[in-house]
Amino acid sequence: MIFIEMTEKHLKEASKLFARAFNTPPWKDSWTPERAEKRLELMLSNNSASAMVALDDHEYIVGMILGDYEYEDTKMAFQIKEFCVDVDHKGEGIGTRLLDEMTKHVKKNGVEEIILMTLRAPETHEFYKSLGYSGVDEWLMMHKEL
């Protein structure tokens, strides 16, 4: 397993992985690879973006993580926007290793805190909790349909 910077050349394959991962439980979304590619391309084009992919021994993408560097009031943070592992490889430690590699990378760049938002589901909560993440009771996510 190798972990490398995600670039535009990875978009097509990463988009297929993204759609497949988020169309399965617990998310059960309705992503198409084309729509996922547009999302990832836009996010990757942000000057503050940083992304990584996990490649298996055959150099297929089996995991990806993408986020943005952000200045907070007292520190530099990294907000994970997208993070997924191929559904056929869940439970193999790829997500843990990928998150660890990204953590090391952003820490070298001055990040003191990682922020993420995820679905409120037992499997996501337990995964992040096992890696030392905790909930933020003061925060509330809101949206409005237009």
Residue 28 has phi, psi (to 5 degrees) of 55, 45
> How far is the CA of 46 from the CAs of 42, 70, 72, 115, in angstroms?
7, 12, 18, 17
Q: What's the pTM value of the predicted model, to 2 decimals?
A: 0.91
Domain ranges of the chain: 2-130
Considering the domain delimited by 2-130, tell me its CATH architecture: 3-Layer(aba) Sandwich (3.40)
Confidence of residue 48 (pLDDT cuts 50, 70, 90): very high
Q: Give the tens place of pLDDT for each residue, 99-135.
A: 999 999 999 999 999 999 988 888 888 899 999 998 8
